[in-house]
């Protein structure tokens, strides 16, 4: 046999698989709610005006394309820290937080996972049940065993908070707990401020390591409000890991812009952490690509562009909320025996709709409406033109 002759075909990515089937569908009224992307009301991925303006400024500068530092563009890393922790936060002022540009949110998670594997190789990793499907695979590929903590409660369509809290109380000290900072993917169900207070308390007192994943800042209640969980954890002291992504909030998916931040106990400790994180980066891809980081840094540090971004992000957030409201109101009319009010409580791009795998199959096969088998729908893929078809299809499968 040869090197490749015994290699099995890897399973298809479940979500990208939905899109492949969707692309092959010839029904003109087909709708893909299986995606993880924000579309505007015309069904297009927006190119934000703040991004175009920043790119025009960068083009004018015509700077040479040198290598970035290992940890990325300094102006970018600074802007990320200010956004994520607050410029006046203690961890930034005291230089206890370090930030490295990463290849999207995924790259940030992988850097964190590889770093943890070097310095806490036997740690148990805990992710929410359910979670973004790549969380498990990422930490497993870094060599960890990955466990889950209870999160979603299908009977209440909310968070199984008692179950989650109990799980945190029994994890071994030093375990890494991956938490969605806002806009939980896939369920859309977030914790309340009061619940976060209890989570922070138990994570801190039990010596667990929080790893906050923030891929949707600005899609819930607003940039500031959505960032509160990260700031509250930072105030509680380190160690803390934060991965963040601008894929959605800047509509820069393919540019791969994210960052990993780590909070340590002192500036001196943080410097040692950064030196080791740079080794992880150096041996993976040496240094990050520059374009996306330049764009985001330019927008965040130029007051007019920053304001434009906040307005454009608010526009996306408001449109999603309008689609949630239209979804609930439309189903109230089309399926009065069913209650979808919970969809208004959910936040971010996604909703666990409560549709079963069988209902999702009928939606796909008979109505060309594509959702994930778990019933996850992307509310940000609904628009004023396709929602009528989606609502009547759902009413027929209920």
| Residue 239 in the binding site for ligand PMP (CB under 6 A) | no
Radius of gyration (C-alpha) of the chain in whole angstroms: 21
x/- mask, ligand PMP, residues 32-71, rule CB under 6 A, reads ----x-----------------------------------
Q: What is the DSSP string of 12-29?
A: PPHHHHHHHHHHH---TT
With CA atoms as reference, report the closest residue to 93 among 294, 229, 234, 243: 234
| Residue 381 in the binding site for ligand PMP (CB under 6 A) | no
Residue pair 90/236 in contact (Cβ under 8 Å)? The answer is no
| Residue 213 in the binding site for ligand PMP (CB under 6 A) | yes
| Residue 352 in the binding site for ligand PMP (CB under 6 A) | no
* Shortest CB 138 distance to ligand PMP, Å: 9
Q: Tell me the two tokens of residue 328.
A: 């609930």
* Per rule CB under 6 A, count of chain residues that contact ligand PMP: 12
* Shortest CB 131 distance to ligand PMP, Å: 7
The one among 34, 72, 86, 105 contacting ligand PMP by CB under 6 A: 105
| Residue 104 in the binding site for ligand PMP (CB under 6 A) | yes
Handedness of CA 296, 298, 302, 305 (dihedral sign): negative
| Residue 368 in the binding site for ligand PMP (CB under 6 A) | no
The residues annotated with a catalytic role in the active site are: 132, 213, 248
Per residue, what are the HEC states of 32-74? ECCCCCCCCCCCCCCCCHHHHHHHHHHHHHCCCCCCCCCCCCH
| Residue 245 in the binding site for ligand PMP (CB under 6 A) | yes
Q: Tell me the two tokens of residue 238.
A: 């380190």
10 Å CB burial of residue 200 (0-12, 13-18, 19+) is middle
The separation between CA 268 and the C-alpha centre of its own chain, rounded to angstroms, equals: 30
* Shortest CB 79 distance to ligand PMP, Å: 16
Residues 108-137 that bind ligand PMP (CB under 6 A): 132
| Residue 346 in the binding site for ligand PMP (CB under 6 A) | no
Q: What is the DSSP string of 280-296?
A: HHHHHTSS--SHHHHHH
* Shortest CB 29 distance to ligand PMP, Å: 26
Interface with ligand PMP (CB under 6 A): 36, 104-106, 132, 180, 185, 213, 215, 245, 247, 258
């Amino acid at each position: 046999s040869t090197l490749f002759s015994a290699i099995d075909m890897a399973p298809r990515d479940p979500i990208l698989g939905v899109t492949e089937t969707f692309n092959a569908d010839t029904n003109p009224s087909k709708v893909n709610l299986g995606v993880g992307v924000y579309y505007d009301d015309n069904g297009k991925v927006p190119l934000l005006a703040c991004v175009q303006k920043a790119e025009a400024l960068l083009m004018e500068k015509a700077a040479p394309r040198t290598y970035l530092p290992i940890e990325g563009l300094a102006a970018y890393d600074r802007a990320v820290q200010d956004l994520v922790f607050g410029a006046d936060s203690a961890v930034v002022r005291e230089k206890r937080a370090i930030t490295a540009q990463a290849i999207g949110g995924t790259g940030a998670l992988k850097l964190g996972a590889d770093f943890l594997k070097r310095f806490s190789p036997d740690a148990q990793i805990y992710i929410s049940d359910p979670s973004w499907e790549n969380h498990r695979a990422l930490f497993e590929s870094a060599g960890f065993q990955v466990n889950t903590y209870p999160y979603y409660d299908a009977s209440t369509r909310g968070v199984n908070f008692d179950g989650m809290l109990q799980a945190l109380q029994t994890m071994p000290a030093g375990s890494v707990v991956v938490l969605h900072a806002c806009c939980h993917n896939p369920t859309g169900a977030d914790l309340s401020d009061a619940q976060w207070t209890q989570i922070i308390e138990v994570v801190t007192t039990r010596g667990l390591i929080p790893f906050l994943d923030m891929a949707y800042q600005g899609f819930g209640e607003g940039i500031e409000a959505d960032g509160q969980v990260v700031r509250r954890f930072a105030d509680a002291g380190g160690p803390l890991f934060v991965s963040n992504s601008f894929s959605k909030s800047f509509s820069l998916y393919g540019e791969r812009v994210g960052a990993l931040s780590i909070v340590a106990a002192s500036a001196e400790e943080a410097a040692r952490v950064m030196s080791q994180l740079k080794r992880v980066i150096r041996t993976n891809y040496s240094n990050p690509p520059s374009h996306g980081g330049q764009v985001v840094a330019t927008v965040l540090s130029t007051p007019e562009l920053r304001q434009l971004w906040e307005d454009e992000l608010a526009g996306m957030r408001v449109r999603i909320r309008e689609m949630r409201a239209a979804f609930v109101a439309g189903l109230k009319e089309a399926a009065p025996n069913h209650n979808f009010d919970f969809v208004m409580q959910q936040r971010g791009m996604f909703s666990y709709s409560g549709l079963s795998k069988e209902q999702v199959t009928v939606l796909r096969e008979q109505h060309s409406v594509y959702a994930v088998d778990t019933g996850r729908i992307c509310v940000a893929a609904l628009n004023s033109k396709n929602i009528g078809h989606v609502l009547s299809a759902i009413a027929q499968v209920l």
